[in-house]
Amino acid sequence: MHHSVNGASHEARQLRSASAESCDSGSRRGTITVELTGGLANQLFQWAAGEILAKEFETEYSLDARKLQQAGQRGYQLESILTSDAPVVSLGRIERFTWRGGAYMPSVSRPLLRRISMVASRARHLRSSVVCNYAEARDALGEGKSIVLASFFQEPQELLKYRDFLRSKIKLPEVRGQVARATGGEDRYVAAHVRRGDYVSVGKYLATFGICSESYYTTALAQANRDLPVLIATDDRAWTQDFIDRSEFSGSAMISGFEDHYSDLSLLASAGYLVMSNSTFSWWAAFLGEHEAVFAPEPWFTDRSREHGLYLDSWVKIDRD
């Protein structure tokens, strides 16, 4: 027991020393904390903001994944596709660290750890500038402040400046072998993304985003290369199969056989032609790929007040209704 206490005291001294060094460093150059929320595509936008701003200001960033562990969230999604490990703060890591420090006791419940985590997060907000866009972030970092990125950071023009840099840090699963088997050896194909799911089942999402019609997909697929097979990634297989069966593409279109969204993202990004849905998942497929043509639904939002420049100049816009 005596040895454990000494070990904990030694680690505490190390932590205080590291904290002091961090504060001294922070007085010269602010650091960046990225609060992650949402699914894979939203997390990619937030991660990209951390990467870009850290590169511009030659500083460090960390990903705060604690909100992703709350009810209704989808968990941390980036670990398996980033080429280098990003520093991630999560409740699980707090638990492991506390145990190694000799301070974890059975009476310290997970709910209490959550409360401690929330207090620490609020304290960080008080010490840092909370920013919601790139302009605010650059202003604060330019003044030497540490910042918390607390928004979706869906500003495509900022990402386009660093497209190759960001692509180099993302590694998607290799899918060309599976594609060739599905298409009878054809490695060029048209990919489409059919997003329905919570866009249909959740009223507020339906009112905000709406869905792309059969007419949109028919028109977009007709404008793509008709000589190529069509592979469709979807979260609504029944609706999509019914659409295929009744469409002019019934002989060439099929639903992706992948069971994970990383492979579906790779499928969409690797296509020769991409037919998007009004989804940031589609957006990232277009951003990461080298497509001959990209077809995008217009409008992106049913609530047009939310339009904020997600379209890239090279995309072909098609009425989604």
pLDDT of residue 118: 53
The interaxial angle of helices 40-57 and 280-288, nearest 10 deg, is 50
CB 294 within 8 A of CB 312: yes
Strands 253-255 and 293-298: unpaired
pLDDT of residue 1: 43
pLDDT of residue 230: 98
pLDDT of residue 114: 56
Which residues pair with residue 190 across a beta bridge? 230, 273
pLDDT of residue 6: 45
pLDDT of residue 128: 81
- Domain positions in the chain are 2-167, 176-319
pLDDT of residue 106: 43
pLDDT of residue 14: 42
Collect all residues with Cβ–Cβ distance below 8 Å to 131 and sequence separation of at least 6.
Answer: 137, 140, 147, 148, 149, 150, 151
Residues in the chain: 321
Asked: is 176-319 a CATH 3.40.50 domain? The reply is yes
pLDDT of residue 91: 53
pLDDT tens track of the chain, all 321 residues?
A: 444 434 444 444 443 444 444 444 444 689 999 999 999 999 999 999 999 999 999 999 999 999 998 888 889 999 999 998 778 887 544 333 333 343 433 444 555 545 545 545 554 554 689 999 999 999 999 999 999 999 999 999 999 999 999 999 999 999 999 999 999 999 899 999 999 999 999 999 999 999 999 999 999 999 999 899 999 999 999 999 999 999 999 999 999 999 999 999 999 999 999 999 999 999 999 999 999 999 999 999 998 888 878 999 999 999 999
H or E element that contains 61 = strand 61-64
User: How far from 279 is each of 127, 155, 184, 274, 297, CA to CA, in Å?
Assistant: 35, 15, 30, 13, 10
CB 318 within 8 A of CB 80: no
pLDDT of residue 315: 98
